Amino acid sequence: MSELKLELKTLIIDALDLEDMTPEDIKNDEPLFVDGLGLDSIDALELGLAIKKQYAISIDANAENTKQHFATIDNLAAFIESQKQ
Amino acid sequence: MDLTFHLTNMTYWQKAHESDSLPQAAGDPIAVDKKGWPTLPWVPAMQRRRLSPFMKMALHCAYETSTAYNQPLATVFSSRHGDLTQTSSLLETLANNDPLSPTGFSLSVHNAVAGLFSILNASTTPSTTIAAGQDTLAMAIVDAIAKAQQQQAPILLVHADQAMPSRYADFEDERQISHALAFIIEPTLKANVRLTRIPSSTSQPTTVPFSVAFGQNISSAQQTVTQSQDWQWKYTP
């Protein structure tokens, strides 16, 4: 699980061009959007695409709980784990 | 066609050592040198990360030229090819049936730089974006003069073009190099540039664009009569 989280942090940095950041700068339980890391709605789309590509899982953009899945690294890792099974 | 106007605050930027690092050398038809572009320290990091080299050149010149003015200026943006490197990358993605990058797509329109500049300055002034082949900068000047005359206010003109992806080499009718320039047209001051259209018979694929010759010449600030492509100008600093 912690390996997946590190992988997700690296994916976020690469896909969203966060040039000056390292995985250590992103906390597992910190909000990714607005407060915390400060990502915006275009980042959400870009990140959704990157995760779809990397893990071959489908994300329903209109589903109520999608927002929750993308809230933090912890949530995102849990979501990907659940989709893999 | 004969145009006279007062030009001030010229900023000219050109990529250094471009011939050593052209994308062709890497074998990737759309690869671009990542180093040597303006760094834009005045743009917040979260916005800066999305800017392409093309946008960085244009925003750098726009900022340097307009920063001395206290009021937001109406702008004319000018580019023959726009962000062709970005466009090529999107087309490549489509051709491979891959999903488009939302970030790339959101910044792919011809007036994306105009939009970014207005967001970064919280400015709601009018803006147009011009493309007109080899005459792109000259036609942007026409537009800027008309606006300056009509509004009796200074107009910011920004031009940028980037070396073309090698995939488009067959279509090159002038030697495109990565460059950008910006200047102000002041309607209330005495004209210091006279620009005249004189069709040239010497245009070759090796000739640099009018915007390159014009930017280099005016920023060197010497009184000259210069001809480039179909345009001749006399600058009296």
pLDDT band, residue B27 (cuts 50/70/90): low
Task: Report yes or no for ipTM above 0.85.
Answer: no
What is the nearest CA distance from B59 to chain A, expressed in angstroms?
A: 19
In this complex, the residue of A20, A46, A49 whose CB is nearest that of residue B45 is A20
Say if residues B58 and B47 touch (Cβ distance below 8 Å).
no
Question: Measured in whole angstroms, how far is the alpha carbon of residue B54 from the centre of its chain?
Answer: 9
**Chain B residue with Cα closest to A50:** B101
Gap between the Cα atoms of B135 and B231, Å rounded: 9
Q: How many CB pairs below 8 A link A and B?
A: 22
Task: Name the A residues in 10-49 with CB < 8 Å from any B CB.
Answer: 16-20, 38, 42-43, 45-46, 49
CB contact under 8 A, A42 and B106: yes
For residue range A40-50, list pLDDT tens digits in order. Answer: 989 999 999 99
CB contact under 8 A, B102 and A42: yes
Closest to B151 measured CA to CA, from B76, B66, B233: B76
CA-CA-CA-CA torsion for A34, A39, A41, A45, nearest 10 degrees?
A: -150
pLDDT band, residue A2 (cuts 50/70/90): confident
For residue range B30-44, list pLDDT tens digits in order. Answer: 667 778 999 999 999
